[in-house]
Amino acid sequence: MTPQEKKIYGLIGLPVRHSLSPAMHNAAFAHLKIDAEYRLFELRPEELEDFLSSLSQNRIFGLNVTVPYKEAVLGHLQWLAPEAESIGAVNTIVVKDKDHLEGWNTDGIGFHRHLTDDLRYDPAGKRAAILGAGGAAKAVADQLARRKAKSITLYDADKERSSKLTDKLNREFPECKAHAAGSINGLGLKGQDLLINATPIGMKEADPCLIEKGMLHSGLLVYDLIYNPAETKLLALAKEAGARTANGLGMLLYQGALSFEHWTDKAAPIAIMKEALEEGVKKICSQK
Ligand code: NAP
């Protein structure tokens, strides 16, 4: 293959500069000797349509999609995987041919794979509380309900968003009781098994911790979808309270691995991708 024939993959979003996905995917391509490169495409909303209609001519064979385009791409796809349809958002596009784009959502399955494969935590029968009801929360809640969690209680600053999500969960998964809390206290953490932060609160140093220490207990698994910083204020507090903790690096790894498999039909080299991510995190930390 000449350099011009190299296959291109990448991430679209706004912003995307901070992303660790190029490190992870390029390490996987190099390891499997696939002549491909993963790039970042920071797009303004008015650029999205043209970009998606010229993928084949730009040798782009697959994309990841992040904020704010996970829903906006839906209207440009010819086929949707059932979980993407159910969540109403896409984080992975496979270019089958010029006129056929497939949409997948690997966020929820990636989260579940980290939970079960690495943390050995089975959500079946568990009571889960989720902070946030945006794109990531929808994917995580969908997986928890599918995997037979006993209940899901959600709190989002936008009450309409959390009610919409809990209504949908109750409709689709009646055995899992979903409830929209009116406040963080309303999450009733003392009676929960799992707490997930699916808001961006905790990414910036100045961010508050949404939870008070007295709300936590040692029976909880506290999972923060944020991976930078590796230990948010929430995770530090959870550790002090004796709870198990996990950050979002494992979810990032497995959602990426699943995207890679959709694009290449090859088993993702998980250990190589994980090492690249860990190196990336170290680099970011040393720049702070
Ligand atoms: P999003 O669609 O913007 O959703 C975030 C939600 O949190 C919004 O509904 C937002 O409401 C709500 N929120 C913000 N501040 C809040 C507060 N103080 N109390 C309650 N709710 C609040 O973002 P997203 O795509 O779901 O991403 C959420 C987080 O997950 C980000 O940190 C992202 O980096 C992370 N993530 C990680 C992975 C991974 O692989 N580890 C994958 C996806 C996402 P408003 O819109 O009203 O502010």
Determine the atom of ligand 1 nearest the C-alpha atom of 107: 42
Residue 239 designated active-site? no
Q: Is 68 in the pocket of ligand 1 (CB under 6 A)?
A: no
Beta strands in the chain (DSSP E): 7-13, 36-42, 60-65, 79-80, 92-97, 100-104, 127-131, 151-155, 177-180, 194-197, 221-224, 244-246
Nearest CA to ligand 1 atom 9: 134
Residues in the chain where the model's pLDDT stays below 70: 1-4, 288
Interval between CA 200 and ligand 1 midpoint (Å): 4
User: Position of tokens 């995997």?
Assistant: 147
| Confidence at residue 284, expressed as pLDDT on a 0 to 100 scale | 82
DSSP string, 5-17: G-EEEEEEESS-T
Ligand 1 pocket check for 250: Cβ under 6 Å? no
Cβ(225) – ligand 1 distance below 6 Å? yes
Q: Enumerate domains of the chain plus CATH numbers.
A: 3-105+252-286 (3.40.50.10860), 108-247 (3.40.50.720)
**Is the CB of 19 within 6 Å of ligand 1?**
no
How many angstroms does the Cα of residue 219 sit away from the middle of ligand 1?
25
In this prediction the pTM is 0.95
Asked if residue 134 has its Cβ within 6 Å of ligand 1, the reply is yes
Question: Which of ligand 1's atoms lies nearest the C-alpha of 200?
Answer: 32
* 180-218 per-position pLDDT tens digit: 999 999 999 999 999 999 999 999 999 999 999 999 999
pLDDT at 2: 53
Distance, in Å, from the CA atom of 260 to the CA atom of 268, rounded to the nearest integer, reads: 6
**Region class of 196: left (phi > 0), else alpha (psi between -120 and 50), else beta:** beta
Residue nearest to atom 37 of ligand 1 (CA): 225
Is the CB–ligand 1 distance for residue 158 below 6 Å?
A: yes
| Residue of 6, 7, 33, 70 marked catalytic | 70
Protein residue whose Cα sits closest to atom 19 of ligand 1: 157
Residue nearest to atom 4 of ligand 1 (CA): 134
Task: Give residue 19's pLDDT.
Answer: 93
Q: Which atom of ligand 1 is nearest to the CA of 161?
A: 9
Q: Is the CB of 92 under 6 A from ligand 1?
A: no
Q: In what order do the strands lie in the sheet with 221-224?
A: 177-180, 151-155, 127-131, 194-197, 221-224, 244-246
Phi/psi at 281 (5° precision): -65, -45
Are 189 and 197 a contacting pair, CB within 8 Å? no
AA letter at 43: L
